[in-house]
Amino acid sequence: MRIGIVVHGPNIIDSGYALKLIDLLKGYGDVKVRLGGTMGRTAVIDASLENLIDISRKLVPSDSLKIFHDDGVDVIFLLNYGKSDVTGQVFGYKVYNHYIEKIDDNSIPVIQIERPGEDDGSIIPWNNDLDLVFELSDKLGLDIVKPEEVYERHIRQDNAGLNQRIVHGVSPGENIMVNSVVIGKTNSDRLTLIAKDNHIVDIVGGELKSHGLEKLGEVDLDSAIIKTGLLRHAKVTPRVISNEKPDEFKVTFLDHAGEDVYKFRDSSLVITVGDDTTLISSDILYRFDIPVIGITDGDLDKVVEDGFKVNNSIIFEVESGFDDIIGQNIKREIFNGKAESLDFKNIDEVENKILEIIKNINCNYKINYIE
């Protein structure tokens, strides 16, 4: 068989089950593997699996499934390790439905393996009744859950209104991220987001963060990527890959946390704006030995367990609400509408220019040097 495997998220990789399942499926035929999602990329790098799992493109899981569909494989597997059986099965339902909206012929079997090794782990044959499902269920000790069971248990209530979305598997005190922007915090184990005219206007089971909603702007609540809690749970030792440095000192600007941070891996220095953006991007760029200059205002929502930063990175903490203002001034004065700047010889010159920008708007600040 020609087997396509889509691996989603860091948890299935950090647990070791991604590699175990890939090795198992190799016994059934020719296997090709690619990542679906963004946060799993650092986990792939840390596990030295980038030669096995294709992370070359930033793709949502349904697009990764579609690539295998277009390649004409015989079966597609989706490997995931959700926070609970509910979150994992709902995730699979949404991915599968986004996938079938993108294809003309739904004849290729799609099988999800969810939370392997857990008591509530499952295998879900989304569009098939293959003997392979029963064989893998027996080998892995996973219950077979039919698609109609997922719908009846977890999905049906989501259709109560077009502008409501129930988020499953949450716990009190967790950050709520919509399309990589933190928009609030949970205060219950039941969460519903409510939108009007493509803007989130209310929440049940949590508290909204107005500054986050401003950053988020318009959003399609049905297709939005929503996460709660930590983006990566495992305590890890990051693996640093030595990149070939550019001949000139290349400075780039990271606009928001939802951007593809990996496209900045040929930079000498990356300027980041916002606490969460700086935390996430510096943690990823650490793998490529790239320092950051972060503009923050102390409004940090912990979205990763440890935020690694390269030595010589500089973090400016400014008055509340001024980080975005300073960021726009930096974008205008340093980059002048361009994606990069080659006007500086080193990080000290960039620091001095940013200090000039901050002082010109009469904003209080303090500087943290990473050593």
**pLDDT over threshold 50, residue 159:** no
Full-prediction pTM beyond 0.95? no
pLDDT, tens digit (0-9, with 9 covering 90-100), for 344-371:
999 999 999 999 999 999 899 999 999 8
pLDDT, tens digit (0-9, with 9 covering 90-100), for 64-95:
999 999 999 999 999 999 988 988 998 999 99
Residue 306 banded pLDDT, cuts 50, 70, 90:
low
Q: What does the alpha-carbon distance between residue 125 and residue 129 come to, in Å, rounded to a whole number?
A: 7
**pLDDT over threshold 50, residue 227:** yes
Calculate Rg over the CA atoms of the chain. 22
Res 161: pLDDT? 47
Res 220: pLDDT? 87
Average pLDDT value over all residues in the chain: 90
Per the CB < 8 A criterion, the answer to whether 161 and 182 are in contact is no
**pLDDT over threshold 80, residue 304:** no
Spell 250-283 as b/e; 16+ CB within 10 A means b.
Answer: bbbbbebbbbebbebeebbbbbbbbbbbbbbbbb
Lowest-confidence segment of 74-88, 103-117, 186-200 by average pLDDT: 186-200
